[in-house]
Protein backbone atom coordinates (compact mmCIF):
# COMPACT_ATOMS: atom_id res chain seq x y z
CA UNK A 1 0.00 0.00 0.00
CA UNK A 2 1.37 3.39 -1.03
CA UNK A 3 1.95 5.82 1.82
CA UNK A 4 0.40 9.29 1.48
CA UNK A 5 2.74 12.07 2.60
CA UNK A 6 1.13 15.36 3.60
CA UNK A 7 3.22 18.39 4.52
CA UNK A 8 2.01 21.16 6.83
CA UNK A 9 3.69 24.52 7.17
CA UNK A 10 2.87 27.99 8.46
CA UNK A 11 4.58 30.82 6.66
CA UNK A 12 4.93 34.58 6.65
CA UNK A 13 3.93 36.36 3.43
CA UNK A 14 7.62 36.33 2.45
CA UNK A 15 7.97 32.55 2.78
CA UNK A 16 9.63 32.32 6.21
CA UNK A 17 8.65 29.64 8.69
CA UNK A 18 10.61 30.96 11.69
CA UNK A 19 12.91 33.74 12.80
CA UNK A 20 15.79 31.32 13.45
CA UNK A 21 16.24 27.58 13.81
CA UNK A 22 16.00 27.99 17.57
CA UNK A 23 12.75 29.97 17.61
CA UNK A 24 9.29 28.51 18.06
CA UNK A 25 6.12 29.17 16.05
CA UNK A 26 4.23 31.25 18.61
CA UNK A 27 3.32 33.80 15.90
CA UNK A 28 0.73 31.61 14.16
CA UNK A 29 -3.01 32.10 14.63
CA UNK A 30 -5.28 30.09 16.90
CA UNK A 31 -7.21 28.98 13.80
CA UNK A 32 -4.09 27.59 12.17
CA UNK A 33 -3.11 25.87 15.37
CA UNK A 34 -6.54 24.20 15.55
CA UNK A 35 -6.35 23.10 11.92
CA UNK A 36 -2.84 21.72 12.47
CA UNK A 37 -3.67 19.83 15.67
CA UNK A 38 -6.82 18.32 14.11
CA UNK A 39 -4.91 17.29 11.00
CA UNK A 40 -2.28 15.47 13.04
CA UNK A 41 -5.01 13.35 14.64
CA UNK A 42 -5.74 11.89 11.18
CA UNK A 43 -2.23 10.60 10.37
CA UNK A 44 -0.35 7.53 11.57
CA UNK A 45 2.98 9.26 12.14
CA UNK A 46 4.90 12.49 11.68
CA UNK A 47 8.34 13.12 10.19
CA UNK A 48 10.14 15.92 12.00
CA UNK A 49 13.63 17.41 12.08
CA UNK A 50 15.75 17.25 15.20
CA UNK A 51 15.60 21.03 15.77
CA UNK A 52 11.83 21.20 15.45
CA UNK A 53 11.49 18.13 17.65
CA UNK A 54 13.57 19.76 20.41
CA UNK A 55 11.56 23.00 20.15
CA UNK A 56 8.10 21.41 20.13
CA UNK A 57 6.08 22.37 23.19
CA UNK A 58 3.46 19.69 22.59
CA UNK A 59 4.55 16.30 21.31
CA UNK A 60 1.06 14.85 21.16
CA UNK A 61 1.92 12.99 17.95
CA UNK A 62 1.23 9.33 17.35
CA UNK A 63 4.54 7.90 16.12
CA UNK A 64 7.29 10.42 15.39
CA UNK A 65 10.25 9.78 13.10
CA UNK A 66 12.93 12.30 14.01
CA UNK A 67 15.55 12.84 11.29
CA UNK A 68 19.04 13.27 12.68
CA UNK A 69 22.63 12.63 11.69
CA UNK A 70 23.42 11.63 15.28
CA UNK A 71 22.46 7.93 15.01
CA UNK A 72 23.86 5.17 12.82
CA UNK A 73 20.81 2.91 13.05
CA UNK A 74 17.22 3.67 14.08
CA UNK A 75 16.90 4.31 17.82
CA UNK A 76 13.48 3.76 19.33
CA UNK A 77 12.37 5.65 22.45
CA UNK A 78 8.72 4.82 23.05
CA UNK A 79 6.77 6.23 20.10
CA UNK A 80 9.72 8.26 18.87
CA UNK A 81 12.20 6.86 16.37
CA UNK A 82 15.47 8.68 15.71
CA UNK A 83 16.64 7.84 12.20
CA UNK A 84 19.51 8.94 9.99
CA UNK A 85 18.41 8.77 6.34
CA UNK A 86 22.05 8.55 5.21
CA UNK A 87 22.47 5.31 7.17
CA UNK A 88 18.99 3.75 7.01
CA UNK A 89 16.46 3.44 4.22
CA UNK A 90 13.70 5.74 5.47
CA UNK A 91 11.04 4.74 2.92
CA UNK A 92 11.58 1.05 3.57
CA UNK A 93 11.43 1.67 7.30
CA UNK A 94 8.09 3.51 6.95
CA UNK A 95 6.62 0.78 4.69
CA UNK A 96 7.57 -1.85 7.26
CA UNK A 97 5.63 0.03 9.93
CA UNK A 98 2.47 -0.24 7.78
CA UNK A 99 1.80 3.49 7.93
CA UNK A 100 -0.86 4.78 5.51
CA UNK A 101 -0.69 8.53 6.08
CA UNK A 102 2.29 10.50 7.28
CA UNK A 103 2.52 14.20 8.12
CA UNK A 104 5.70 16.08 7.26
CA UNK A 105 5.92 18.78 9.90
CA UNK A 106 9.28 20.39 9.20
CA UNK A 107 11.46 22.28 9.68
CA UNK A 108 12.98 23.52 6.48
CA UNK A 109 15.58 20.75 6.12
CA UNK A 110 12.93 18.10 6.49
CA UNK A 111 10.56 19.76 4.02
CA UNK A 112 13.41 19.94 1.53
CA UNK A 113 14.51 16.35 2.10
CA UNK A 114 10.96 15.00 1.72
CA UNK A 115 10.23 17.00 -1.42
CA UNK A 116 13.47 15.85 -3.06
CA UNK A 117 12.75 12.24 -2.14
CA UNK A 118 9.18 12.22 -3.49
CA UNK A 119 7.66 12.20 -0.04
CA UNK A 120 5.28 15.16 -0.41
CA UNK A 121 1.99 14.31 -2.15
CA UNK A 122 0.04 17.20 -0.64
CA UNK A 123 1.12 20.49 0.84
CA UNK A 124 -0.85 22.71 3.21
CA UNK A 125 0.56 26.21 3.58
CA UNK A 126 -0.96 28.60 6.06
CA UNK A 127 0.01 32.17 5.25
CA UNK A 128 -0.05 34.45 8.27
CA UNK A 129 -0.24 38.21 7.55
CA UNK A 130 3.36 39.17 8.37
CA UNK A 131 6.49 40.01 6.42
CA UNK A 132 9.55 38.85 8.37
CA UNK A 133 12.22 40.19 5.96
CA UNK A 134 14.67 37.55 7.25
CA UNK A 135 14.49 34.10 8.80
CA UNK A 136 14.21 30.42 7.94
CA UNK A 137 12.82 29.73 4.48
CA UNK A 138 10.26 26.98 3.88
CA UNK A 139 12.78 24.82 2.00
CA UNK A 140 16.47 24.86 2.87
CA UNK A 141 17.80 23.33 -0.36
CA UNK A 142 20.72 24.81 -2.24
CA UNK A 143 20.08 23.10 -5.55
CA UNK A 144 17.45 24.74 -7.78
CA UNK A 145 14.62 22.51 -8.95
CA UNK A 146 11.22 23.57 -10.28
CA UNK A 147 8.65 21.38 -8.52
CA UNK A 148 5.15 21.74 -9.89
CA UNK A 149 2.13 21.94 -7.57
CA UNK A 150 -1.50 22.72 -8.31
CA UNK A 151 -3.79 24.64 -6.00
CA UNK A 152 -6.72 22.63 -4.74
CA UNK A 153 -8.34 25.02 -2.28
CA UNK A 154 -8.02 28.40 -0.62
CA UNK A 155 -9.64 29.03 2.72
CA UNK A 156 -9.67 32.20 4.78
CA UNK A 157 -9.22 30.98 8.35
CA UNK A 158 -10.13 34.18 10.23
CA UNK A 159 -10.83 37.91 9.94
CA UNK A 160 -7.16 38.69 10.55
CA UNK A 161 -6.16 37.65 7.00
CA UNK A 162 -4.83 34.16 7.70
CA UNK A 163 -5.19 32.01 4.58
CA UNK A 164 -4.87 28.24 4.20
CA UNK A 165 -3.73 26.94 0.81
CA UNK A 166 -3.88 23.29 -0.20
CA UNK A 167 -1.64 22.10 -3.02
CA UNK A 168 -1.25 18.75 -4.80
CA UNK A 169 2.19 17.73 -6.03
CA UNK A 170 2.14 17.39 -9.84
CA UNK A 171 5.68 16.07 -10.36
Ligand X SMILES: NC(=O)c1ccc[n+]([C@@H]2O[C@H](COP(=O)([O-])OP(=O)(O)OC[C@H]3O[C@@H](n4cnc5c(N)ncnc54)[C@H](OP(=O)(O)O)[C@@H]3O)[C@@H](O)[C@H]2O)c1
Q: Contact positions toward ligand X, by CB under 6 A?
A: 9-10, 17-18, 21, 23-25, 49-52, 55, 67-70, 84-85, 105-110, 113, 136, 140
The least distance separating ligand X from the CB of residue 54, rounded to whole angstroms, comes to 8
Asked whether 8 and 17 are in contact (CB, 8 A), the reply is no
The least distance separating ligand X from the CB of residue 111, rounded to whole angstroms, comes to 7
CB closer to ligand X, 1 vs 112: 112
Burial (Cβ within 10 Å: 0-12, 13-18, ≥19) of residue 135 = middle
Asked whether 98 and 3 are in contact (CB, 8 A), the reply is no
CB closer to ligand X, 1 vs 57: 57
CB closer to ligand X, 1 vs 132: 132
CB closer to ligand X, 11 vs 99: 11
How far apart are the C-alpha atoms of 155 and 134, rounded to whole Å?
26
End-to-end CA distance of the chain: 20
31, 72, 109, 110, 155 from 141: Cα distances, Å: 29, 23, 7, 10, 28
The least distance separating ligand X from the CB of residue 82, rounded to whole angstroms, comes to 8
The least distance separating ligand X from the CB of residue 48, rounded to whole angstroms, comes to 6
H or E, element range at 40 = helix 30-40
The least distance separating ligand X from the CB of residue 95, rounded to whole angstroms, comes to 18
CB closer to ligand X, 1 vs 42: 42
Amino acid sequence: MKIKYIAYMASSIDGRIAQSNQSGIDWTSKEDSNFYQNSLKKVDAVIVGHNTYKLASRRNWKDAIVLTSKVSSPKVKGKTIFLNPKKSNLKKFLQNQNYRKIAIIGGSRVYDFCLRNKMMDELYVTIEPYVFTAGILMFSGNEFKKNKFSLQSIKRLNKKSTVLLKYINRN
